[in-house]
Structure 1
Amino acid sequence: MRRIKEEYDIVIIGAGLGGLLCGYVLAEEGKSVCILEKNAQIGGNLQTFKRDQVKFDSGVHYIGGLDKGQALYPFFKYFNLLDNVDKELLDKDAYDVISFGSEDILYPHGQGYENFVQQLIKYFPEEEAGLRKYCEEIRRICKEFEWYNLYKDYEETDEMSTFSLSAKEVIASCTDNEKLRKVLAGSNLLYAGEGDSSPFYIHALILDSYIGSAYKLKHSDQISKQLRKDLKKMGGQIFINSEVVKIENTTKQVQHVVLADGQQIRGKLFISNLHPTLTFRLLNTEGLRKVNVNRMLQLGNTASSFILYIKLKPETFRFTNSNRYHFIDEDVWSSHHYDSDNWLKALAIFNSRPDSNTQYAHTLTAMAYMNYEDVKKWENSFNTTLRESERSKEYLRFKQKKAEELIRALSRVYPGFSSCIESYYTATPLTQRDYIGSIEGGLYGIKKDYRAPVKSFISANTKLDNLFLTGQNVVLHGVLGVTISAMVTCQFILGKKYMLDKLKAYV
């Protein structure tokens, strides 16, 4: 086994996607790179796990913008991922479907802007103008982001006005039809959408990538495995089971990090892929600006979730090449607000099959919002691969109760569904906290608010000369957002023009 050296050019804390991508870029530039991961598996939300001889994706279920000319294509080309990741195109006419209550109608989101419009006109024949306005609003906003449009020459824009638009209000401005408004906002579980705060730019960037092209990955850990393989070839080192417990710093720069076993690792530059709040908890903040420290320690976070991972009995549940967002409560913007008697308001449902030759799914994953307060009483217990511990029987009973409630809800969506289940496994906000490292199990990191965009803006460049941030909190969550975040981080080290020119070669 390779030993950790005492000093590197680049020390990266956390082997989530952002840390791996930064490591790749900088190792390719000839830097000595060390990535430190506290858990046994790398990849963050790309992690998978195996239960009952079936593999489940923990977080990433589909990705968008992968075709030539689209946002993610040049990045996947540069990172040697495009031809090394097995993927399957989701239904072109309905990559996502939106449904409500006991209605039988499945409202489709189609791939390709014209197709997107045409598929929904079938259900809203009087709303063509509104649908086209909605598509134009998405494209207009997406044009404002340089890293999202590498094929264009970038011009300076008034970015704050872009960040200050409400997703709910922009959608409402496109149509007076209440049902269509709900359908257009129906996949907002992708960003934990809230009517009183969610910015339109997040909605636009995510939807644009999927409308461009939407792919289901065979397994999400293909990405992290390929990056690890190539990093190793370039001399980069990744160390699992290596938790950073302290960042030693002066008021000017970081000197070294300290691992749980007491080992000290020095570096010229340091990149933290951790949540910014977790990063600042590791720092010596004495002498740093209090207003900045307090802001980073008090960042608001998105809602968390309860997830049910189900192994299906063979040939019992027909596979659909779409993802489904089902709303039990038709208010699509407040599904995270609930009381104990009315917990389930919305479901995100993803099914997968072992190969493209079968008509039946072998797994189904269902996700519903769950607030951290529901599991807070057990927050002092931890359970990871490295720190296995049995949580209380009360916690296990809580999980079983919630799983049974979710299965009953799924059986109303798919009559007879409970008879298709062979086994199931659960994840709560505590699971996501322990394995992903998110504050209170937050689904998508820091909560963005169009009313105060600067408040939730996190720069990759910190006040310490040699400490940088990366990951889903810097730009945007998801594979595309974190990839762009890594490029933004690296631009502070290698230069913006250099990085843009480098990536444009792959457009």
Structure 2
Amino acid sequence: MNIAIVGGGLSGLLCAFLLEKKGYSPTIYEKLPKVGGVIDSFKTKKIMFDVGFHYSGSLAPGQFLYEEFKRYNLLEKFELYEYERDFDTLYFDDTEFGIPSSSIEFKQKLQALFKDEKDALENFFNKCYEASKITLELKDDYTNIDSRSLNSVMIDIKNPILRKILLHFTIFYADVQYEDASFEIYAKIMINMLDGTRKIRGNGRAIVDALKSELHKTTIITRNEVSEILYDENGANALRCKDGVKEYDAVISTLHPRTTIFLLNLESKKLKRYAKHVRELEESPTFFSIFCLVETDIKSNLYFYGDDCISVLPSSKVDGKSTVTVIARSRYEDYQDLDKQEYKALKQKECEQHISALKKLYDFGNIEVIDCSTPLTKQHYSSGYKGSAYGILCSAKQKSLSMVMPKTRVENLYLAGESALAPGLLGCYLGAQKVMNYFK
């Protein structure tokens, strides 16, 4: 069986890795010069920076991702290490709160600070533990989906600062302080981060290198963008790319669902309805990233909440300085129609605005900006619709419209990637594993 994978980012590499374990020899098509996408690190001015991967949950012994990587001998390929203390530090006006690497410690810390909310917190965490259980069971319909919103589950929690602290975890898969987020996804992300957050030595580049080293039967074709997914009454059967049409028995697209739909020349009413459904899905926000060197030794990831959120994520050390990625909300629409000079000017202006705001929030010492990226950069490297950070928004509203099942309405065409389940290393792995259920 000939299987094509469209997109050579994290999800594409994971799909190829898992397909090889089943005995297949897939082909990856990647438009960029190398695989890895936004998870890969990049080097500029001889300094390595992280883009889409900084740390991940579920990587402690006994947790799902750790045990899966152990089962496939991937843990031998990279080194995990823990934060010295708190992995995230949150700032709300005059409030500073560190998040420990333990769900029990986190709960106890909250109960000690917010004594009037002790029972409500106990109840909330019990619901989170129950919903956080991970299964690879395949569900092809929406009948058993937990459609509760986060707000509906934390309704008994009243303190505004406490709510803000708990809502912090929505930033990893939905939006800043997003109360209408899917509770099911929230619980999985929160508990797995609290009990299993680890960094990987070498960060995103280490993950890419580890997966590539295990691909022995996969053909990787770079600088070859797929322009069309061809299909007939029997399903997807070929790809059109720069060197012609290539026939396949099945296609796995790790691109954004909107991008995948665009590659199909949909004709039937049934498929057009499916395309309309995908186009109506709400997107996660997009961000502006700044890659810097700072004098301050930063031990944890910093999140400054105000009207929005500015994140400061440290990676490594260079000549005694911390390499950090600063992430702030941005707008794709502000950049999309600009000429080269206008684009450059707006990029510089937005960078200066974010750095100016950051200096008022924390004493970083001297901040040296090395590079920065806009929503258009994100779109280029991830094929995300309008540069969306995490693909489709994991909303609880009309939950059936907020999830994209791996199996599409076109036979033999499957979706993996962040939009298929949830973002991040855990979400991409689960999405890839769900697709594997269709390949025996």
TM-score > 0.5, shorter chain as reference: yes
Residue correspondence of structure 1 range 184-223 to structure 2 within 5 A: 184-193=166-175, 195=178, 197-218=180-201, 219-223=203-207
Residues in 1 aligned to 2:144 and 2:113: alpha-carbon distance in whole angstroms:
33
Residue correspondence of structure 1 range 13-412 to structure 2 within 5 A: 13-92=6-85, 94-101=86-93, 103=94, 105-143=95-133, 145-147=134-136, 163-173=146-156, 175-193=157-175, 195=178, 197-218=180-201, 219-231=203-215, 233=216, 235-260=217-242, 262-287=243-268, 289=270, 290-312=272-294, 316-320=295-299, 322-329=300-307, 345-354=308-317, 361-378=321-338, 392-412=340-360
For residue 375 of structure 2, what is the aligned residue in structure 1?
429
The SS at the match of 1:18 is: helix
Deviation string, structure 1 residues 113-133 (Cα, Å, up to 9, x no partner): 221123334533443333322
**For this pair of structures, how many residues does the alignment match?**
436
Residues in 1 aligned to 2:74 and 2:47: alpha-carbon distance in whole angstroms:
24
Residues in 2 aligned to 1:284 and 1:155: alpha-carbon distance in whole angstroms:
28
For residue 413 of structure 1, what is the aligned residue in structure 2?
361
* Paired residues of 1:248 and 1:254 also in contact (CA < 8 A): yes
The SS at the match of 2:390 is: coil
Gapped regions of structure 1 (runs ≥ 5): 1-7, 148-153, 330-344, 379-390, 495-507
User: TM-score of the superposition, structure 2-length normalised?
Assistant: 0.92
* Paired residues of 2:17 and 2:211 also in contact (CA < 8 A): yes
Residue correspondence of structure 1 range 441-480 to structure 2 within 5 A: 441-480=387-426
Aligned partner letter, 1:188: T
Residues in 1 aligned to 2:361 and 2:155: alpha-carbon distance in whole angstroms:
28
Backbone CA RMSD of aligned residues: 2.3
* Paired residues of 2:138 and 2:437 also in contact (CA < 8 A): no
Q: Which stretch shows the higher mean deviation, 121-130 or 392-401? A: 121-130
Residues in 2 aligned to 1:62 and 1:97: alpha-carbon distance in whole angstroms:
14
Residues in 2 aligned to 1:288 and 1:226: alpha-carbon distance in whole angstroms:
44
Do the aligned partners of residues 9 and 368 (structure 1) sit closer, same or farther apart at CA in structure 2, a change above 3 Å counting?
Answer: same
Is 1:487 paired with 2:439? no
Deviation string, structure 1 residues 25-46 (Cα, Å, up to 9, x no partner): 2222222211111111312231
Residues in 2 aligned to 1:450 and 1:133: alpha-carbon distance in whole angstroms:
20
Residues in 2 aligned to 1:466 and 1:240: alpha-carbon distance in whole angstroms:
23
**Deviation for aligned residue 1:287:** 2.9
Aligned partner letter, 1:414: Y
Deviation string, structure 1 residues 35-91 (Cα, Å, up to 9, x no partner): 111111312231211112111111111101112221212221234322212332124
Residues in 1 aligned to 2:297 and 2:257: alpha-carbon distance in whole angstroms:
43
Residues in 1 aligned to 2:84 and 2:112: alpha-carbon distance in whole angstroms:
17
* Paired residues of 2:394 and 2:422 also in contact (CA < 8 A): no
Gapped regions of structure 2 (runs ≥ 5): none
**Deviation for aligned residue 1:424:** 2.6
User: TM-score of the superposition, structure 1-length normalised?
Assistant: 0.81
Runs of 4+ in structure 1 off by over 4 angstroms are: 158-162
Aligned partner letter, 2:213: K
Do the aligned partners of residues 19 and 78 (structure 1) sit closer, same or farther apart at CA in structure 2, a change above 3 Å counting?
Answer: farther
**Deviation for aligned residue 1:481:** 0.7
